[in-house]
């Protein structure tokens, strides 16, 4: 399960998605989240899904990585779907004891599941196609207006990116510690909840020690390289908005406008289409 967590990983590439300005990718990721939760019908949600499939196809990220990023959230999706199917009032399809399966519940469960899948896959694409350095620069440049309120924007952006960058490292370290403990006879998978929680203590202690050691080594390396924060620092690569960034923003904006229009007129169009099919 730990190896299936791919958040924070970066996959180098030369696709148009990789070449987008990191600031634009962050903004478009937020816009995509808004797009998903703006969709109120099947047409709008289908646009969100097709958009995600298109972007992943252009970025050339292996489909297996998408499945690996979704595997850890499958229990959450299943739990949310069950709650929606049996605890939302509406037209009853099936009833057993106090459980009632309703048509509205099934519809809500499908919508919510698709939204969660697209949300995880869409936000994961940001780290898949953006290097940690570029992500730091993008976050810092977007948060520059906050400097007027005396906020340490560069330091905050650096901390966020370092934390994101070290997620795969800590996951790999946890997997190694668990394998070492199992080789020494530790039982981590059997017993009740409290017994499993106590079995995690031999894992958490060396993990915390390793994390603090890595943090100390990183701080020492930054000190040796004369790192003193963002004031007065220059960048080898300057961020510039290119035409491809503008066209990407226009495309996402067009999708958002289409979804808003489908929310307003989609039900009427589907109704007219249904009447036309019945007449044929």
Percent of the chain clearing pLDDT 90 (strictly above): 0
Judge whether residue 11 has pLDDT over 70.
yes
Euclidean distance between CA atoms 15 and 198, whole angstroms: 47
The per-residue pLDDT for range 72-121, each reduced to its tens digit, is 778 888 888 877 777 777 676 766 776 777 777 788 888 888 888 888 88
The answer to which of 9-23, 48-62, 76-90, 106-120 has the lowest mean pLDDT is 76-90
Domain boundaries, given as residue ranges, for the chain? 1-130+243-280, 152-240
The answer to which of 3-12, 170-179, 220-229 has the lowest mean pLDDT is 3-12
- Tell which wins on pLDDT, 229 or 49: 49
Determine the average pLDDT of the residues in 38-64.
Answer: 84
Determine the average pLDDT of the residues in 12-20.
Answer: 85
- pLDDT number for residue 8: 60
- Read off the pTM: 0.73
Q: Which residues are bridge partners to 102 per DSSP?
A: 92
């Amino acid at each position: 399960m730990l190896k299936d967590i791919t958040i924070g990983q970066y996959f180098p590439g030369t696709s148009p998605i990789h070449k987008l300005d990191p600031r634009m990718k962050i903004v478009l990721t937020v816009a995509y989240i808004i797009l998903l939760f703006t969709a109120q019908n099947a047409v709008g949600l289908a646009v969100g899904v097709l958009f995600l499939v298109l972007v992943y196809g252009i970025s050339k990220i292996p489909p297996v990585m998408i499945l690996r990023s979704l595997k850890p959230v499958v229990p959450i999706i299943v739990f949310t779907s069950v709650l929606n199917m049996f605890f939302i009032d509406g037209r009853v399809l099936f009833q057993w004891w106090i459980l009632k399966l309703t048509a509205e519940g099934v519809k809500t469960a499908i919508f919510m599941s698709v939204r969660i899948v697209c949300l995880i896959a869409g936000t994961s694409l940001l780290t898949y196609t953006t290097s940690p350095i570029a992500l730091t620069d993008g976050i810092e440049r977007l948060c520059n207006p906050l400097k007027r309120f005396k906020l340490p924007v560069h330091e905050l952006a650096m901390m966020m990116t370092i934390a994101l960058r070290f997620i795969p490292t800590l996951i790999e370290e946890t997997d190694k510690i668990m394998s070492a403990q199992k080789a020494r006879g530790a039982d981590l998978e059997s017993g009740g909840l409290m017994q499993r929680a106590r079995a995690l203590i031999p894992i958490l202690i060396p993990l915390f020690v390793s994390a603090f050691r890595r943090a100390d080594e990183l701080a020492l390396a930054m000190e040796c390289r004369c790192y003193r924060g963002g004031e007065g620092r220059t960048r080898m690569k300057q961020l510039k908005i290119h035409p491809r960034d503008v066209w990407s923003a226009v495309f996402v904006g067009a999708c958002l406008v289409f979804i808003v229009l489908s929310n307003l007129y989609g039900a009427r169009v589907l109704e007219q289409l249904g009447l036309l099919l019945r007449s044929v």
